[in-house]
Structure 1
Amino acid sequence: MLIAENLCKQVETAAGTLTILNQVELTVAKGESLAIVGASGSGKSTLLGILAGLDGPSSGKVLFQGEDITKLTEEQRAKVRARHVGFVFQSFQLLPGLTALENVMMPLELHGEDDARGKAEFFLTRVGLKQRLGHFPKQLSGGEQQRVAIARAFASHPDILFADEPTGNLDTATGAHIIDLLFELNREHGTTLVLVTHEQRLADRCQQTLVLDAGEVVSTNTTKTTGAVA
C-alpha cells in the first residue's frame, strides 16, 4: 500500500542547510496502522505531509499502491489524494459557515458522488452526531468537531487515512473516544491508517510504531493486532 525509500528533506536557512528528514524508510500494508512518534521538531508532520503527497522530498521516493508519487506533478498528486486519501487534523479544519452535514457533504459533492447527503448523514450518525446535523462548528464541542472531521474523512471511502495529532486538542476522555472511533472505522472499512501522535495510548493501538529523532528513525516496533488495547 505505502512504501517510503530513503526519504530525505532539506531546506536552506540563513544558518545553512537544515536536514529535517534523513534516510527514512517504512512500509505499511493495506488495512494496517502506523503511528509516527517523536519529540516536537523531530520531523513527524513533515514526514506525514510527504507520505500524503502534500509535499515532496529532497531525495528518495514514496510508492503508493505501486506508483511513485514523488515523480508526479502537484496536479497529479492532488488527483491521487482526491481519489484515495482522507485527512484528519488536530485543528479539525471545518468550514465555519457550513453545518456539520454540509461540511461532510461538500467534498462528496465536489467529487461528484451520488447521494452525497445520504452518505454524509450515514457517517455522521455512525460517529454519534445524528442529532447535530444542522449545527455549525461553533455550536459543537471539540470532540464533536473532531467527529465531524472523521465522518468527512471516512465518507469518501479513502484507501488510506492520514491523521496529524487527531486527539491533540481534546481532553483525555474525549480523546479516548476519538481513538476508539478511528479504529472501529478502520476495522469496518479496511482503511489504512497513518497517524502522527505524541500520545502513547494511541501509538499502542497501532500495528506499527516508528520513532523519529532529529529526522532519523531511531526505532520501530510491530504488534500483531490493530486496535488492541495495550
Structure 2
Amino acid sequence: MTKPLVSIIADQLSKLVKTADGELTILHDISFEIAQGESVAIVGASGSGKSTLLSLLAGLDLPSSGQISLMETNLNSLDEDGRAQLRGKHVGFVFQSFQLLPHLNAIENVMLPLELVGVGQSEARLAAKTWLEKVGLGDRLNHFPKTLSGGEQQRVALARAFINKPAILFADEPTGSLDEASGERVIELLFELNRENSSTLILVTHDPALAARCGRQLSLQGGRLV
C-alpha cells in the first residue's frame, strides 16, 4: 500500500514571547504529521494557542524551537521572502475578516494570487471568473467589497484561496463573523472544494459541529497538544 504524501510535519514546536512580566510560553513541544488531502480541525479554548499554531504551520511566524516541514521544505531554512514564495506556490488562506482589498472589485481580488506569481492578466481574469461562478457569484464580478454581504465577501475570499489550486488551505475561524445560513454555505464550499482538489484543509474553529466534520481534530489546552 502506497504511503500518503505528507503535507506538514511539526516536530517539537515551541513558541515563547516576551512580555512586561517576562517570557510567556504560548506553545509547548507540539509534534504531529498531516497527510495530503486530510481535513484537520485545530480546537481549544480561547488563548490555547490555536491561531499561533496556524501561523507557524503557514510560515507566517517562526517557532522559538522545533522544526516545521511544509510540502517537504523546512521552513526554518527559508528567509521571509522564501517562505512567501513557498506560500504563493502551495498555500491558500481564508480568514474570518475576509481581508479583501477594498479598492479592488471581486474579480480583481480573486485574480491577485495568480498575478503575484506571474500569470498573465487575461488568463488570471478567466480563472477568477470561473471560480466566482463556482461559488455562486457570477453576477457579482464587478462589485466592490463594501457592496457585498458578509457571506458574499467570504465566498470571494474562498474563490481567491482556491484559484491557484493550493495543496494546503488554512482557514482561521472561517465562519466566525457570518450568520448561520451564510456560514453553512461557506462550510459546504470549504469541504466541497477540499474534496475536488484533494487539498489539505487545516482550520481553526470554536464550533464543535464544524470540527466534527473534519477527518481529525488537534486539541490544544494551555499550549499543549492533548
TM tier relative to shorter chain:
over 0.9
CA contact (8 A) 2:113 2:163 kept: no
- Picking from 50, 70, 73, the partner of 1:67 is 73
Aligned residue pairs, count = 218
CA distance in 1, matches of 2:213, 2:187: 9
CA deviation after TM superposition for structure 1 residue 75, in Å: 1.3
Within-5 A mapping of 1:17-166:
17-114=23-120, 115-166=123-174
- RMSD across aligned positions (CA): 0.9
Deviation at 1:97, TM superposition (A): 1.0
Q: Shift of the alpha carbon at 1:106?
A: 2.0
Aligned-residue offset at 1:65 = 2.1
* Counterparts of 2:182 and 2:138, CA distance in 1: 18
Residue segments in structure 1 that go unaligned for 5+ positions in a row: 219-230
Q: Does residue 173 of structure 1 match 2:181?
A: yes
Q: Structure 2 CA distance, aligned partners of 1:69 and 1:141?
A: 37
Deviation at 1:110, TM superposition (A): 2.0
- TM-superposed CA distance for 1:112, in Å, is 1.5
**Is contact 2:40-2:202 (8 Å) kept?**
yes
1:186 and 2:206 are equivalent in the alignment: no
The code of the aligned residue for 1:177 comes to R
- Structure 1 stretches of 4+ with a deviation exceeding 2 A read none
C-alpha separation in 1, matches of 2:163 and 2:45: 32
Return 5+ residue gaps in structure 2 as ranges: 1-6
Q: Tell me the distance in 2 between the aligned counterparts of 1:161 and 1:106.
A: 17
Q: Which TM-score applies when normalising by structure 2? A: 0.94
SS across alignment from 2:111: helix
Q: Give 1:213 shift.
A: 1.1
d(CA) in 2 for partners of 1:68, 1:92: 28
Tell me which amino acid in the other structure corresponds to 2:77: K
The answer for the alignment partner of 1:224 in structure 2 is none
Whole-angstrom CA distance in 1 between matches of 2:221 and 2:151? 30
Q: Give the drift of 1:66.
A: 2.0
Q: TM-score, normalized by length of structure 1?
A: 0.93
Q: Distance in 1 between matches of 2:87 and 2:73?
A: 13
Identity among equivalent pairs (%): 61
1:157 is paired with a residue of what secondary structure?
A: coil
